[in-house]
């Protein structure tokens, strides 16, 4: 269930942690935008930097998860539900985040382990 849409700024780290604590999160996933040809972009670097800063302040694991095609999937989901691109623009990131989390949970269930790239694990405490 979407709670809020936050950008990857220094000011939002405390807000992310506050939400995580409020909901009893034991892990935080940060979407890692990678181009379709697997190139690192400026958005990738911003996400990695945000995840690293978050990991320094959060006492639980933090992981980066490839978010390729989540926006495409979110757009398709909104269209199937009768929303055009203009109507869905305000919630597209929230829908994409739900898709990303569903993907992570499916991987966890399938593999019996967390999805994504470790930024901080329990052993790093």
Stretch 47-54: mean pLDDT: 92
Residue 117 contacts residue 63 (beta carbons within 8 Å): yes
For residue 82, the model assigns a pLDDT of 76
Give me the residue spans of the domains in the chain.
10-124
Cβ within 8 Å of residue 115, ≥6 positions away:
29, 63, 65, 103, 104, 107, 108
Q: What's the confidence (pLDDT) of residue 122?
A: 56
pTM, entire model: 0.79
Q: Which CATH class name applies to 10-124?
A: alpha beta
Query: 91-111 pLDDT, tens per residue?
Result: 777 777 888 888 889 888 999
Over range 32-40, report the average pLDDT: 82
Average pLDDT, the chain: 82
């Amino acid at each position: 269930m979407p709670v809020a849409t936050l950008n990857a700024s220094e000011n939002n780290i405390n807000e992310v942690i506050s939400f995580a604590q409020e909901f009893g999160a034991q892990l935080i996933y940060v979407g890692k935008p990678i181009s379709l040809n697997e190139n690192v972009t400026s958005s990738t670097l911003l996400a990695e930097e945000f995840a690293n800063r978050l990991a320094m302040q959060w006492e639980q694991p933090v992981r980066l998860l490839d978010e390729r095609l989540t926006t495409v999937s979110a757009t398709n989901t909104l269209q199937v539900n009768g929303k055009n691109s203009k109507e869905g623009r305000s919630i597209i990131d929230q829908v994409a985040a739900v898709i990303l989390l569903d993907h992570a949970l499916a991987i966890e269930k399938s593999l019996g382990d967390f999805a994504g790239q470790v930024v901080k694990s329990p052993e790093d405490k």
